Each structure stands twice: as C-alpha cells, then as structure tokens.
Amino acid sequence: MSDYNFAYLDEQTKRMIRRAILKGVAVPGYQVPFASREMPMPYGWGTGGVQVTAACLTPEDTLKVIDQGADDTTNAVSIRKFFEKTADVAVTEKTAEATIIQTRHRIPEVTLTEDQILVYQVPMPEPLRFLEPSEVETRKMHALQDYGLMHVKLYEDIARHGEIATAYSYPVMVEDRYVMSPSPIPKFDNPKLESAALQLFGAGREQRIYAVPPFTKVVSLDFDDYPFDPSKAPHPCALCAAEDSYLDEVITDDQGTRMFVCSDTDFCADRRAAQEGEAA
C-alpha cells in the first residue's frame, strides 16, 4: 500500500465533498460551493473532477479516465496513474467495465448504465458567466430563474451566424429549474445527458460541484423556430466507419490532408475488433 490516504484526500475532505455531491444530487443542476483543495496538479488539469472522483472511489471500483474521448492522452494517463498510485484501484479502458469514469469534454458513445458514475472536469461551471460578470448577480438569476439572458446569447448566435453556433458547452435546462453548463462537451453529446448513470460535475478552481441524477430531464435550450440540433461532422469514421459517433478531425500531413476518426477511442477500437472478428 502507498503512503497516501486512500485516494489521496483525507477522510474529512472526502466527507465534505460527498456532502456537496449529495446536495447537488438533491438539487439537480444547482451549483454547490465546496472547499476545493490544492491538488498535486495545476488548475485546468481536472482538479475538480479528481476531487469528486476521489470522494466517490471505493477499493472495489474500476476506474476509466478519458480526455476528449481518448484513454491515452497525457491528461487521462496521468490522472489514471494518480489513482492507481493513491487508491490502488483497478483501471480499465473499457467503458462497459468501468464503475467510475472521469471525463474531460466527452460523454462515451456506449450507453451508460445505472451502475456507473460519470465525473466531468469543469473549467467554468457558470453558464451565465460570459453574459453577466457578477457572481452575486448570476446566483440571484439562478435563484429567481431569471434566464432571459441565456436566450439572448442564443439570439446573438442566430443574428450573427444564421444558426445557433454554440457547438460545445451548450447550455441545458435541468428538471425545468436550473440552467446548467454541461462542461465543454460537444453539443452532439447533449442528448446523452439524459442517462441512467449518475453524472457529477467538479470545478476545482471555481469551487463548485453539481450533479445530474439518473433519469433526470435535461433539455438543451433553443428557439421554437431554431430547434436544438446535435449535429456533428458529416463523415463516417475513417477507421471503424461508424456513422453515429462524434469525430475528431486529424490533420495528417503538411498539405492539409485530413481524416475524421472517432473521438471515443474505446468505442472505435471495439468496433474495429468486432469487424476483424467477422472478417476472420
């Protein structure tokens, strides 16, 4: 065993975070303030998500960490290693095998189940922030459901671009009560916010935790004549030929040649393995 307390944080801190999580679950979409701790990684590298994961982990859990859908990027690898070292939990790259998935900027393509927790890293929890700089005022706006401003942003999008150009961090209304930022996931993922899994959101620098409990109603904001459209790049995956997954655009040479591949690496690998199996 390591020299760390289980999952790095001390028990009192985990207790404090769990209380914030429970409050967040009780009031879906509401941003619960919590006393975010200094973590051994810089802000912006997922300190909020790591603290939430630490508070949720048990020794029996299996952890998966993804960054932009990929298990093998620096951020994902270092967080996975962090918990291997401090909590000694099992880790996996298989979405279906994980009990806790910490993510940055994506929701896995595979439908999540009631036995799973999805932990989001959130850089900016306040969906109203870029419209209203005052925290006092935004909290009041949430309290009073004074959300006209949120639609003003969408209005501005249409006025300027002819459509709602917000492609990520697309604001949602949770249980007809709180407007919430889904973290910078692509709007393609928004429909997956209505899920069987518990979804927890941690913002370390901003010191906020919020939650979407299983089977909660989550509606992406839109206009009657400009309905929400969870579109994505109109290509199949160049590796697995999937038509229905979110794609990353990869530039492959200096001439600007590009290919579109699944951003969810596990999903793509599974499909390719299955295709090879069929071929064999």
Partner 1 sequence: MTPLLDVKDLTKTYGGRVGCTDVSFRLYPGEVLGIVGESGSGKSTLLNCLAGHLPPDRGQVIFDTRAEGPRDVLTMSEPERRMLGRTDWAFVHQNPRDGLRMRISAGGNVGERLMAVGARHYGEIRAQATDWLGRVEISETRIDDRPSAFSGGMQQRLQIARNLVTGPRLVFMDEPTGGLDVSVQARLLDLIRGLVRRMGLSAIVVTHDLAVVRLLADRLMVMKDGHVIETGLTDQVLDDPQAPYTQLLVSSVLQV
Radius of gyration for the chain, computed over Cα atoms and rounded to the nearest angstrom: 19
**Structure tokens of 42?**
């810089």
269 lines the binding site for partner 1 (CB under 8 A): no
Residue in 24, 46, 56, 240 annotated catalytic = 240
**Structure tokens of 104?**
């940055």
Cβ proximity to partner 1: between 179 and 237 the closer is 179
Q: Which residue has the tokens 């492959």?
A: 252
Is 277 among the catalytic positions?
A: no
Q: Which residue has the tokens 């009560």?
A: 177
Is 268 among the catalytic positions?
A: yes
Bridge-based pairing of strands 62-67 and 100-104 is: parallel
Pick the piece of the chain touching partner 1 (CB under 8 A) from 16-24, 66-74, 156-164, 245-253: 156-164
Among 1, 3, 38, 144, binds partner 1 (CB under 8 A): 144
177 lines the binding site for partner 1 (CB under 8 A): no
- Give the contact letters, 112-141, x = binds to partner 1 (CB under 8 A), - = no: -------------------x--------x-
Residue in 46, 56, 262, 277 annotated catalytic = 262
Dihedral sign for Cα atoms in the order 23, 29, 35, 41: positive
Interacting residues of 36 by C-beta distance below 8 A, sequence separation 6+: 47, 48, 51, 203, 204, 205, 207
Among 43, 147, 168, 228, binds partner 1 (CB under 8 A): 147
What does the longest C-alpha to C-alpha distance in the chain come to? 62
Is 56 among the catalytic positions?
A: no
Pick the piece of the chain touching partner 1 (CB under 8 A) from 13-21, 88-96, 149-157, 212-220: 149-157
214-233: contacts with partner 1 (CB under 8 A): 222-226
Cβ proximity to partner 1: between 131 and 269 the closer is 131
Angle formed by the axes of helices 11-26 and 47-56, to 10°? Answer: 100
Closest CA to 54 of 30, 26, 34, 74: 34
Pick the piece of the chain touching partner 1 (CB under 8 A) from 49-57, 111-119, 154-162, 265-273: 154-162
Burial level of 38, CB count in 10 A (0-12/13-18/19+)? exposed
Residues forming contacts to partner 1 in the complex (CB under 8 A) are 131, 140, 143-149, 151-152, 155-156, 158-160, 222-226
| Residues taking part in catalysis | 29, 237, 240, 262, 268
